[in-house]
A and B are shown apart, each in its own frame.
Chain A
Amino acid sequence: MKIEQTVQTTPQAALEITDLGVAYESTWVLDHIDLTVKQGEFIGIIGPNGAGKSTLLKTLAGLIRPSRGEIRFPAARGRRHPVGYVPQRFDLDPDLPLRARDLVGLGLDGHRWGFAWPNAQRGRKIEQALAQVDLTGFADHPAGKLSGGQLQRVLIAQALVSDPELLLLDEPLSSLDLASAQTVVDVVHRVSQNLGVTVLLVTHDMNPLLPVMDRLIYVVNGQAVIGTVDQVVQKDVLDKLYGYDVEVLRLHGRILVVGDETASGDAAGFEHR
C-alpha cells in the first residue's frame, strides 16, 4: 500500500475544500474557503489570534459541522483513517491511572466496545507508534506526569496509530519552550516524510516551520490563502487579506508580519476556542 503511494509521480489530493463556511450564530467565522492539499504535504496554518485557524482545523477533524460547502479526503477512500487529530494543549491530572501506552492504545481501538484484552500485537503497535515520536521507553510512564512536549508527542503517537491520511495538529507549539517545540517540529516532519502522512499544523508563529513546511494556509478574518511562503507572505497578498497595510520583515531568516494594530478588523475582535 505504501509503495504504491510513493511510486505515483503526481501526488493525489489528500484534502479538497470547496466553498467552506462556518457560522456561529450570525457571524461567519470562516467564509468561502477553497483549497486543495496534496498527499504528503506539510502545511502550516498561520494567522493572528481569532482568525479562524483552530476553527478550520476542528472543522476538518469533524468537531465542528460546516454551515456550508464541502470537505473531501480523496486519497483516503476507506483504505486509511482520514484524519488523526491532536488537540490544543491541555493538562492531565498527575494522579490519573493512565500510562502513555494507554493513551496511544485508545487511538488504536478506543472506539470499540468493551475492554482491550492485552495481546502482543497490540502492544507492538503501541510501542512502534511511541518509537516514531522518539518516546521509546516511555510506554509505562504515567501520562499525567509527562512534560508538555512529551504529552504532545504521545498524542501525536495516539493519532498516528490509527494510520491516518492526514495529521491535524492544533497549536502544538504553544506554551512549549524552544527546544521542546523544535523536537515536536522535527518529529512531525520526520513522520510526514517516513509515513507519507499529510500534515496540517496550526501555529501563530510560522518561523519554527520555515525549514520544514511545503506550503502554508494564511488565515485572517475567516478568509484563507494557500501557497508557498514566498507566494503568500508578501505585502500585497497580506494587505488584501488583512484589509489594511501590514509590513513583512525578513530578519536573519525569520519572518515577522507587522500589522497596524490600531486599524480596524485585526483578529476580527473575537476569540474562538
Chain B
Amino acid sequence: MTWYQYIWAPGIWGNPAVHTAWTAGTLVALASGTVGVFVVMRGQSFTGHALGDVGSTGAAGAFLAGVGALWGFLAAGAVTGGSIEWLGRRVRERDIATGVVMAFMLGLSALFLYLVSIYTNASNAPMAILFGSLFTVSPSLQPALLGLSIAALAILALIYRPLLFSTATPEVAQSRGIPVRLVGLAFMLALVVAAEEAALAVGAILSTALLIGPAATAARMARRPGMAVLLAAGLAVGNIWLGILLAYDSYWWPPIHTGWPVSFFVTVVSLGMYAAGGLIQRVRTTVREGGR
C-alpha cells in the first residue's frame, strides 16, 4: 500500500455505490449551499431545520405506502412549508408556527416509523430515514435529483434581486412595489426542495449540516452576496465529497471494519468548516485592524 492509499482507499473510483453517492451528493449540495445562504441571511435556519425533520414523516409514510422515499420527503416538506407560510404571516408568529407544525409532523413521524418497524421487516429503514445513508441512494433517483436541483437554482436565479431586496430592507422593497410575500413564497418553494434533498442525502435530522453549515461559513467569510452564494455552493460540494471520502476510508478503521456512517462525516466536516471559517475571519480582522 502506497501512502496515498490512506487517502484514496483502493477501489473508491470503481465502486458504483460511491459513484452514485458522488453525483447525488453533488447535486444535493449545490442546491443546499446556494439556498442555504438566503436561509442564513433571512434568519430562517429554524424553518430549514424543521423542513428537514418533518421529511422523516413523509419518508416513513412513503415507505409504508411502497412509494419512493424522495417523494415522501418532498410531500411532507411541501405540506409543512405551506402551513408555515399560511400560519406565520408575521415574522414574530413564524417561529411559533414552525414549532407547532414541526411538533405535530414529528408526532406523525413517530407513529409511521413505529408502524414501519412493526409491519415490515426493514429494521434499518428508520435509521436510514433519520440519519441518511448516501451509499444506498438508488442510481435511478439521479434524474429526479438533477431536475429538483435545477428547479431550486432556477427559482433562486429568477428572484435573486427581489429576494435580496426583501431580505435586506423588506419595507423599502415593499414600497418599491415588490410583492414581498410572493417572493417569500417562491423562496419557500426552493427551500423545501433543497431541505428535502438534503434530508434524503444525509438524513432528516442531519440535513441542517448541509443546508446551514456551508452557507453560514460562506456568509461569514464573504463580503458580497454573489460571492457568498458561490462560496457556499463550493463549500457544500466540498463538504459532501470529503464526507464520502472519509466514510469510504473508514472501512479500514476500527473497531468493526464495516465503515462509519457518511452522515457522521458530513456533519464533522460541516462543523470543522464553520470553526475554521470563524478562525480565518478572526485572523483577517486582527490583521486588518493591526495594519491601520
Binding site for B on A (CB under 8 A): 58, 61-63, 83, 85-87, 92-93, 95-99, 102-103, 106-107, 109-116, 140, 142-143, 155, 158-159, 162
Contact = CB atoms under 8 A, between A and B. Distances in A.
B88 interface: no
Interface in B166-210: 168-169, 171-178
Given A97-B228, A142-B223, A92 B168 contact: yes
B66 to A, nearest CB: 41
A106 B164 contact: yes
Nearest to B159: A113
B112 to A, nearest CB: 38
A107 B161 CA distance: 10
Given A97-B224, A109-B161, A103 B171 contact: no
A95 to B, nearest CB: 5
- Report, as a range, how many residues of chain B touch the other chain: 20 to 34
B222 interface: yes
Contact of B224 (A87, A98, A158): A98
Nearest to B172: A85
B165 interface: yes
B161 A155 contact: no
Given A97-B41, A98-B168, A110 B176 contact: yes
Contact of A159 (B172, B173, B225, B226): B172
A110 B41 contact: no
Interface of B: 37, 41, 157-162, 164-165, 168-169, 171-178, 218-220, 222-228
Nearest to B228: A97
A114 B165 CA distance: 12
A174 to B, nearest CB: 16
Nearest to A142: B223
A162 B223 contact: no
Contact of B223 (A63, A97, A110, A113): A97
B161 A116 contact: yes
A115 B157 contact: yes
18 contacts: A62-B175, A85-B172, A87-B172, A97-B223, A97-B225, A102-B224, A106-B168, A106-B169, A109-B161, A110-B165, A111-B178, A113-B162, A114-B158, A114-B161, A115-B160, A115-B226, A143-B168, A158-B172
A116 B169 CA distance: 17
Contacts of A58: 171
Nearest to A112: B161
A112 B160 CA distance: 9
Greatest chain A CB density within 10 A among B168, B218, B222 is at B168
A158 B172 CA distance: 9
A99 B224 contact: yes
B182 to A, nearest CB: 12
Contacts of B228: 97
Nearest to B219: A97
B172 A96 contact: no
A114 B172 contact: no
Given A97-B227, A142-B223, A106 B165 contact: yes
B156 to A, nearest CB: 10
Nearest to B221: A97
A113 B169 contact: no
B225 A62 contact: no
Contacts of B224: 97-99, 102
A101 to B, nearest CB: 9
Contact of A62 (B174, B222, B226): B174
Contacts of B223: 97, 99, 140, 142
A93 B228 CA distance: 15
A119 to B, nearest CB: 14
A226 to B, nearest CB: 22
A95 B219 contact: yes
Contacts of B178: 110-111
Nearest to B41: A96
B162 A111 contact: yes
B203 to A, nearest CB: 28
A116 B165 CA distance: 12
Given A62-B177, A95-B219, A97-B225, A85 B41 contact: no
Contacts of A111: 161-162, 165, 173, 176-178
B169 A103 contact: yes
A98 B165 contact: no
A109 B175 CA distance: 14
A62 B162 CA distance: 17
Given A102-B224, A110-B162, A113-B162, 12 more contacts: A61-B171, A87-B171, A97-B41, A97-B224, A98-B225, A102-B225, A103-B168, A109-B161, A111-B165, A111-B178, A113-B160, A115-B161
Contacts of A62: 174-175, 177
A143 B172 CA distance: 16
A166 to B, nearest CB: 11
